[in-house]
């Protein structure tokens, strides 16, 4: 029987995996199971579609012809319910079972619904991850008077900007005491928060919403101090969690996400994982970390596909990094800026509101640069990156046994 490879998911990791498989010369069957229909959606692009910068088609970077080009047999609108690694069998939501020779799990992640009573069932709560929910935001964008954005993440801040620019009042809420709680230092977050407030966004931090009540006029959001906001839409941007419930942790090792090696294999040789569903090498800490970005997903998918096709490809890891354009600012974080400890020192430079409007925080551990936050300082990025990488190289040369074992 022909070799059958199964690709689970329809995002950047899945499609790069498929493309790599075929380019590497794999001629067997390639099946793809995904819970959506149609071309692959990139949720990163959705805010820009909503702001009117690009058309809806641009949210689908691979286009529709991809599947035919790479000869994929698709199983659309099917969710994987369980995967048995011993028998190499997948069971889906419509009751189908499939046998695989190798499998790539690239099921991505779904939005976290904070446990606010009434939120999950509110018809006004929307998230950006799926095409349908993103499209559902179009109407509020045209008609809303006020929206609440739950989660001052990078996505949340982006949405705040999109709504604000349409003349809609925005309340931005986060349970954390600062915006951008993943990777931004408090001082940098404070600057961006000031900018958001200057623009007229109502930022409320350290707030755990009490409940959400749907009414005919909108959603009533109850705050801990007893106040309420009636909003036309609640945009949920409180983080994501990996879609791996169908896996048996006895069979496939899972940490915060699926564990992989440098060939993007899971603890089971026949199963690969890539993208937002897995952990991979953080080059800075030399450990596994869940770093869900579009770029990492694409590279991981490609490596997985090459290995599945029998080639030798190594995923050399990534350094955590992120960039967000916020109004006319550009915020970047790179490395491990939140590192703490006795040898850690922070160096502040500039002020985003004066002079050349650039601001940086460099974080050193024992005089080695390990991370940074940058506002409007893109010209310093390359130097910082090089310094962080050379710090890693220097560290590598001091650990002898570990590097021998890793074959570095």
Partner 1 sequence: MTQLTFSFDVNRCSGCLACIVACQDQNDFVSETVAFRQVTSYEERFLTKSRISFLSLSCLHCGDAPCVMVCPTGAIFKNSEGVVDLNRELCIGCHTCELTCSFGAPKFAEDGRMIKCDFCHDRVEYGLKPACVRVCPTKALGFGPLKDISKEKTKEASTKILKSLLATEPSKQP
Residues that bind partner 1 (CB under 8 A): 42, 44-45, 48, 53-54, 58-59, 61-62, 293-295, 298-299, 302, 321-325, 330, 332, 334, 378-379, 381-382, 385-386
- Residue 106 in contact with residue 20, Cβ under 8 Å? no
Measure the CA angle with vertex 109, ends 285 and 266; round to 5°: 55
- Shortest distance (Å) from residue 362 CB to partner 1: 17
- Residue 362 in contact with residue 334, Cβ under 8 Å? no
Q: Closer to partner 1 by CB, 166 or 385: give it.
A: 385
- Residue 167 in contact with residue 304, Cβ under 8 Å? no
- Shortest distance (Å) from residue 385 CB to partner 1: 6
Q: Closer to partner 1 by CB, 278 or 298: give it.
A: 298
Q: Beta 329-335 vs 321-326: how paired, if at all?
A: antiparallel
Q: Closer to partner 1 by CB, 172 or 298: give it.
A: 298
- Residue 30 in contact with residue 66, Cβ under 8 Å? no
Q: Closer to partner 1 by CB, 140 or 320: give it.
A: 320
- Shortest distance (Å) from residue 286 CB to partner 1: 20
**Which phi and psi angles does 370 have, rounded to 5°?**
-115, -15
Q: Closer to partner 1 by CB, 111 or 218: give it.
A: 111
Q: For 121-223, list the strands marked E by DSSP.
A: 125-126, 146-150, 169-174, 202-205, 211-214, 219-222
Q: Closer to partner 1 by CB, 257 or 313: give it.
A: 313
- Shortest distance (Å) from residue 246 CB to partner 1: 27
**Which phi and psi angles does 133 have, rounded to 5°?**
-70, -35
Cα–Cα distance, 406 to 249 (Å, whole number): 25
Q: Closer to partner 1 by CB, 59 or 126: give it.
A: 59
Q: For 131-214, list the strands marked E by DSSP.
A: 146-150, 169-174, 202-205, 211-214
Q: Closer to partner 1 by CB, 204 or 362: give it.
A: 362
- Residue 328 in contact with residue 162, Cβ under 8 Å? no
Bridge partners (DSSP) of residue 90 are 83, 98
Q: Closer to partner 1 by CB, 330 or 403: give it.
A: 330
- Shortest distance (Å) from residue 54 CB to partner 1: 6
- Shortest distance (Å) from residue 226 CB to partner 1: 39
CA neighbor of 281 nearest in space, from 268, 262, 254, 256: 262
CB atoms within 10 A of CB 324: 18
Q: Closer to partner 1 by CB, 344 or 381: give it.
A: 381
Q: Closer to partner 1 by CB, 89 or 133: give it.
A: 133
Alpha helix segments (H runs only) across 341-380: none
- Residue 291 in contact with residue 282, Cβ under 8 Å? yes
Q: Beta 29-33 vs 73-75: how paired, if at all?
A: parallel
- Shortest distance (Å) from residue 17 CB to partner 1: 13
CA neighbor of 168 nearest in space, from 140, 136, 197, 126: 140
- Shortest distance (Å) from residue 48 CB to partner 1: 4
- Shortest distance (Å) from residue 373 CB to partner 1: 13
- Shortest distance (Å) from residue 40 CB to partner 1: 11
Please identify which residue in the block is written with the tokens 């009414």. 215
Q: Beta 73-75 vs 102-105: how paired, if at all?
A: unpaired
- Shortest distance (Å) from residue 328 CB to partner 1: 9
Q: Which helix (H) or strand (E) holds 130?
A: none
């Amino acid at each position: 029987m022909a070799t059958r490879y199964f690709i689970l998911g329809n995002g950047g990791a899945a499609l790069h995996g498929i493309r790599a498989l075929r380019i590497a010369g794999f001629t067997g069957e390639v099946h793809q199971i995904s819970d959506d229909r149609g071309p692959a959606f990139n949720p990163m692009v959705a805010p820009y579609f909503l702001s009117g910068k690009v058309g809806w088609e641009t949210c689908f970077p691979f286009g529709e012809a991809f599947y035919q080009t790479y000869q994929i047999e698709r199983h659309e609108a099917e969710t994987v319910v369980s995967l048995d690694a011993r028998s190499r069998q997948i069971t889906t939501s419509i009751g189908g079972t499939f046998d695989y020779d190798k499998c790539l799990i690239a099921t991505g992640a779904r939005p976290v619904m904070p446990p606010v009573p009434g939120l999950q069932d509110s018809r006004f709560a929307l998230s950006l991850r799926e095409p349908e929910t993103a499209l559902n935001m179009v109407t509020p964008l045209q008609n809303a008077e006020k929206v609440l954005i739950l989660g001052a993440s990078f996505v949340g801040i982006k949405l705040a900007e999109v709504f604000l620019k349409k003349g809609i009042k925005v309340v931005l809420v986060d349970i954390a005491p600062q915006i951008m709680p993943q990777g931004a230092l408090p001082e940098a977050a404070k600057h961006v928060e000031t900018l958001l407030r200057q623009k007229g966004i109502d930022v409320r931090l350290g707030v755990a919403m009490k409940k959400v009540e749907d009414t005919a006029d909108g959603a009533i959001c109850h705050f801990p101090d007893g106040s309420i906001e009636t909003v036309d839409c609640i945009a949920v941007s409180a983080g994501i969690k990996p879609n791996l419930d169908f896996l048996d942790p006895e069979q496939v090792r899972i940490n915060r996400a699926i564990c992989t090696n440098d060939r993007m294999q899971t603890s089971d040789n026949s199963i690969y994982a890539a993208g937002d569903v897995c952990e991979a090498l953080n080059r800075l800490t030399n450990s596994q970390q869940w770093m869900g970005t579009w770029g990492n997903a694409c590279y991981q998918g490609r490596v997985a596909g090459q290995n599945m096709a029998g080639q030798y490809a190594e995923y050399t890891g990534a350094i955590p990094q992120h960039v967000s354009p916020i109004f006319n600012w550009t915020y970047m974080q790179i490395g491990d800026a939140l590192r703490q400890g006795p040898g850690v020192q922070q160096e502040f430079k500039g002020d985003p509101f004066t002079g050349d409007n650039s601001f940086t925080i460099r974080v050193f551990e024992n005089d080695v640069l390990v991370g940074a936050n940058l506002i409007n300082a893109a010209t310093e990025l390359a130097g910082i990156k090089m310094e962080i990488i050379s710090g890693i190289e220097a560290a590598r040369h001091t650990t002898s046994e570990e590097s021998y074992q890793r074959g570095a």
